[in-house]
Amino acid sequence: MILITEFMDESAVDLLKRKYNVYYDSSLAEDSNSLVKLINKMKALIVRNKTLVTRELIENAPNLTCVGRLGVGLDNIDLNACEEQNITVYPALGANSHSVAEYVICASMLLLRKAYFKKNEMIAGNWPRQESSGSEVYGKTLGLIGFGDIAQKTRDLALGLGMKTVAYDPYLDKDSNVWKETKNLDLDNLLSISDIISLHIPLSKETKNLIDEKKLKLIKNSSVIINAARGGVIDENQLAKLLKENKIGGAALDVFNEEPVNKECAKKFEGINNLILTPHIGGVTKESNERVSEMIAKKIDTHLSK
């Protein structure tokens, strides 16, 4: 039996239903009591990033052999507990990368141009022409922190727009071909010279708070920062403070320390002008949902058919 706890494209769910018993309830991610009871009989579990696949859950899952992740970040899954119980974890590698890459390019253009948030002023009869003149992305330097699949796809789009690209990723071989059109920099250098900084690292013990107050202070006043990786990799409070003081030119945040963001947490962003906030949708589009769901349905089917 397969348990699906978060939204999945219906045609991929149907693909699984043709062969297996499937229990699909997208509200289960937030109902850990029901989840612990249901997991007992399951051979496969399919989640996004809201379901916490904890050691406790795994210990209540004697029949579980695999977990499909409708996305790529695995920070909501206890990988050690899975390994100890011989449970294979399948991320949807690459299936939502285009969506995130487009999000980053779009946010870069919106933040640098400063012209697209004037609807209310215009409807009120104003003509805010003077303050709506921003910058092109053409010729600007995009700094990518983490240079894996999403960052490389973002690089490809950026080069097509005439941008320069630099990246920081100490885990990539420095002689690799990926550095052909992108300068390999250390983190401090990247932060000091980039016009647009975009984060593409997983959340881990090592990357938690990687971009702290000291690192944020290296960023130029005119530069903008985009986080569509994970909330914990950047000090959100310090970023909000520096944006308010105009020490950083703007930001787009798709991911947050705590999700969903409540009114109290969101308060720190009040009054910041050049700021885009989105509810963790960088990788979520109609197309990516179809690709991610189909990929995971096939991986789970192959696993269970062995």
Ligand X SMILES: NC(=O)c1ccc[n+]([C@@H]2O[C@H](COP(=O)([O-])OP(=O)(O)OC[C@H]3O[C@@H](n4cnc5c(N)ncnc54)[C@H](O)[C@@H]3O)[C@@H](O)[C@H]2O)c1
Could you give the residue numbers annotated as active site? 230, 259, 280
39 touches ligand X by CB under 6 A: no
Q: Name beta bridge partners: 250.
A: 224
- Which string of x and - marks every residue 137-176 that binds ligand X (by CB under 6 A)? --------xxxxxxx----------------xxxxx----
Q: Give the shortest CB-114-to-ligand X separation in angstroms.
A: 23
Q: Which long-range contacts (CB under 8 A, 24 or more apart) does 267-276 make?
A: 268/236, 268/237, 268/240, 268/241, 269/240, 271/244, 272/240, 272/243, 272/244, 274/111, 274/114, 274/224, 274/243, 274/249, 274/250, 275/243, 275/250, 275/251, 276/107, 276/110, 276/111, 276/250, 276/251, 276/252
Q: Give the shortest CB-39-to-ligand X separation in angstroms.
A: 24
Residue number with CB closer to ligand X (127 or 171) = 171
Site for ligand X, residues 49 to 88, rule: CB under 6 A: 71-73
Rounded Cα gap, residues 209 and 30, in angstroms: 26
Residue number with CB closer to ligand X (38 or 295) = 295
Let me know: does 12 contact 297? Beta carbons within 8 Å: yes
The token duo for 287 is: 């197309």
Q: Give the shortest CB-205-to-ligand X separation in angstroms.
A: 10
Q: Give the shortest CB-246-to-ligand X separation in angstroms.
A: 26
Rounded Cα gap, residues 143 and 182, in angstroms: 9
Q: Among the candidate windows 12-20, 39-47, 217-225, 278-286, which touches ligand X by CB under 6 A?
A: 278-286
201 touches ligand X by CB under 6 A: yes
From 171, 248, 153, 174, select the one nearest 207 (Cα to Cα): 171
Rounded Cα gap, residues 138 and 105, in angstroms: 12
Angle 15-21-23 from CA coordinates, rounded to 5°: 90
Residue number with CB closer to ligand X (8 or 255) = 255
**Closest residue (Cβ) to ligand X?**
148
- Which string of x and - marks every residue 209-248 that binds ligand X (by CB under 6 A)? -------------------xxx------------------
Residue number with CB closer to ligand X (215 or 230) = 230
Rounded Cα gap, residues 88 and 108, in angstroms: 37
95 touches ligand X by CB under 6 A: no
Where do contacts with ligand X occur on this chain (CB under 6 A)? 71-73, 96-97, 100, 145-151, 168-172, 200-203, 206-207, 228-230, 254-255, 280, 282-283
